[in-house]
Amino acid sequence: MSDNTTKKPLSPVEKIKQNSDGLRGTLQEGLRNEITGAIAEDDQALVKFHGMYMQDDRDRRDERAEKKLERLYSFMIRLRVPGGFFTPEQWIATHHIAGEHTTGVIKITTRQTIQLHGILRSHIKPTLKAFSQVHLDSIAACGDVNRNVTCAAHPLQSPIHEQVHAYAARISELLLPKTRAFYEIWLDEEKLIDKKDEEDPLYQDRYLPRKFKVGIAIPPNNDVDVLTNDLALIAIIEKNKLKGFNIAIGGGLGTTHGNAETYARLASVIGFVPVTKGDEQLLKTVYEIVTIQRDYGNRSDRKLSRLKYTIDKYGIDWYREELNRRTGTTIEAPKEFAFTDRKDYYGWQQNHQGNWFYTPFIESGRILDDEKLPLKTALLEIAHTGKANFRFTGNQNLILADITPNDKPAIQQLLEKYGVIAHTEAASAIRKNAIACVALPTCPLALAEAQRYLPALIGRIDELLEKHALTKEEIIIRMTGCPNGCGRPYAAEIGFVGTGPGRYNLHLAGDHEGTRLNRIFKENLDETAILRELDLLFFLFQKERAAGERFGDFALRQRWYKA
């Protein structure tokens, strides 16, 4: 079988999907295999659609090999949490699930959800059943389907935040696969008698050529980095009324070192869809953008199968026309909008209704108790009060949300008791604006460290900033352990992309708002070289910057960028 669009043979994953009996494969049988802690190779592709990855502890590979033991296999589970919202009950459940079945660390991801690592195969079902009891699941959190839908996190963003936020859940539902496999395999629900009940007009039996991501932004903040999504919805609000959404398509960051055909791309705005007379047209537009990618995306080479490549192959105008044909309407011209920032609002903030929100600083989204801060205990105690909801941000933070003025003193007291306020206030401006992906030891694709290394590197970068009297600069720094871009390093003012142990490409000149990608400045640097380059750059920045100029914009003006 070949891919209609490329005439090349289908990638092996295509066959696995089609032969999977609605993503069931041999997962159920595999769970009974006591000889290994792993699952069959084909099932490893399928289990992603259920929100899981099979991994192993890379730190322990050598030790296990010496003892002639198989790798220490375990699973990472990623939840589907559209727009990143948890009730206190859901947080309490997650806290206990993390304690019983995982490494204990709760990791907030760059797409506003959480991941738990180190789950042994026999613990998957109890974990998913416990989540199900608090109405949480991991369906389609990974795999060749629509992933977690992100949405501007802070309710402060607009008086109609909730109205916009509700679209995250609606779009997530709209684009969910119809198969009941998740419920059968992991929750022991009854098997379907009539398979017709799970016929899936959207995904059919082949699903999408690759992952698909949707984000929703409320200008002027672009905290979800909306243009890095396959499909970006930008809320257009006039006089506190939601008029509709600008639609942008073709964002995506993954690249492969040495493969010039791969590249990072920001989404292109193709038009505007009103919602003043109802949502039908918007939802149809979202749906058909996905069906076009389903039908025209590359299914032979997974490196070139994201929507960004489909768009660049066929052209924006073609895509827009095909969309108009499928929706039966003509998408309107885009409306004016402007982003001014991408940050989280740390500390206490009050919204238009008088409710309070506290954003603590959480380094790399990792929630645990350590010698510096008993953050996990603090959050559990806060959840137990029932006085705060939990909202995750696309910058790997969370917001303790919707706290009434009466309840604020109780939360304040707990934040003080556990040192969360002092910890947040002590973090430097760049630390608060930094992102690092997971990388080692769990990520099989990592070439270098990220979340285990960036905190220390930032300490050294802070010293340089102090030397050049730049400590107040909110420079956006991001690091990933490989070029896949999970921490969105190509959209940072300073991006580090791992090339090998202890080595990174240094990217410069993204903007503060997330509307311009950066470029490689120097390749394969070790820490000494990184600090040397930054020392010089900060010196020049201090000396030659225009008034109020951001570091990324300054870097853009330099000769190396224009060369």
Residues that bind ligand SRM (CB under 6 A): 53, 55, 76, 78, 109-111, 113, 115, 147-148, 211, 213, 225, 228, 252-254, 306, 365, 396, 437-438, 442-445, 484-488
Q: Please say which residue, 286 or 476, places its beta carbon nearer to ligand SF4.
A: 476
Q: How many CB atoms lie within 10 A of CB 35?
A: 6
Among 218, 224, 304, 482, binds ligand SF4 (CB under 6 A): 482
Q: Tell me: does residue 454 bind ligand SF4 (CB under 6 A).
A: no
Contact 80, 172 (CB under 8 A): yes
> Vertex 374, ends 370 and 375: CA angle to 5°?
105
Catalytic residue among 111, 213, 265, 503: 213
The Cα–Cα gap between 196 and 409 comes to 55
> What's the 3-state SS for 103-148?
CCCEEECCCCCEEEEEECHHHHHHHHHHHHHCCCECCCCCCCCECC
- Shortest Cβ distance from residue 171 to ligand SF4 (Å)? 24
Coil/strand/helix, residue 252: strand
The Cα–Cα gap between 422 and 442 comes to 31
Q: Which does 213 bind (CB under 5 to 8 A by kind): ligand SF4, ligand SRM, none?
A: ligand SRM
Contact 57, 72 (CB under 8 A): yes
Among 142, 237, 438, 508, binds ligand SF4 (CB under 6 A): 438
The Cα–Cα gap between 458 and 466 comes to 12
Q: How long a stretch of residues is the chain?
A: 563
Distance (Å) of CA 117 to CA 104, 440, 520: 8, 12, 32
Q: Which does 360 bind (CB under 5 to 8 A by kind): ligand SRM, ligand SF4, none?
A: none
Catalytic residue among 366, 482, 503, 550: 482
Alpha helices in 418-511 (DSSP H): 420-426, 429-432, 454-467
- Shortest Cβ distance from residue 76 to ligand SRM (Å)? 5
Q: For residues 83-100, b (16+ Cβ closer than 10 Å) or e, as one string?
A: bbbbbbebbbbbbebbee
Q: Is residue 147 annotated as a catalytic residue, yes or no?
A: yes
- Alpha carbons within 13 angstroms on the beta-carbon side of residue 306 total 25
Q: Which does 482 bind (CB under 5 to 8 A by kind): ligand SRM, ligand SF4, none?
A: ligand SF4
Among 51, 271, 481, 495, binds ligand SF4 (CB under 6 A): 481
- Shortest Cβ distance from residue 449 to ligand SF4 (Å)? 9
Q: Is residue 191 annotated as a catalytic residue, yes or no?
A: no
- Shortest Cβ distance from residue 132 to ligand SRM (Å)? 19
The Cα–Cα gap between 81 and 111 comes to 9
Q: Please say which residue, 3 or 144, places its beta carbon nearer to ligand SF4.
A: 144
Catalytic residue among 48, 80, 121, 147: 147
Q: Tell me: does residue 395 bind ligand SF4 (CB under 6 A).
A: no
Q: How many CB atoms lie within 10 A of CB 435?
A: 27
- Shortest Cβ distance from residue 248 to ligand SRM (Å)? 14
Using Cβ positions, the residue closest to ligand SRM within the complex turns out to be: 254
Q: Which pair of structure tokens corresponds to residue 63?
A: 């030790």
- Shortest Cβ distance from residue 259 to ligand SRM (Å)? 10
- Shortest Cβ distance from residue 108 to ligand SRM (Å)? 7
Catalytic residue among 180, 210, 486, 488: 486
Q: What distance lies between CA 425 and its chain's CA centroid? A: 26
The Cα–Cα gap between 231 and 172 comes to 13
Q: Tell me: does residue 252 bind ligand SF4 (CB under 6 A).
A: no
- The one segment of 214-222, 330-338, 474-482, 522-530 that binds ligand SF4 by CB under 6 A: 474-482
State the catalytic residues.
78, 147, 211, 213, 437, 443, 482, 486
Q: Which residues bind ligand SF4 (CB under 6 A)?
A: 437-439, 443, 445-446, 450, 480-482, 484-486
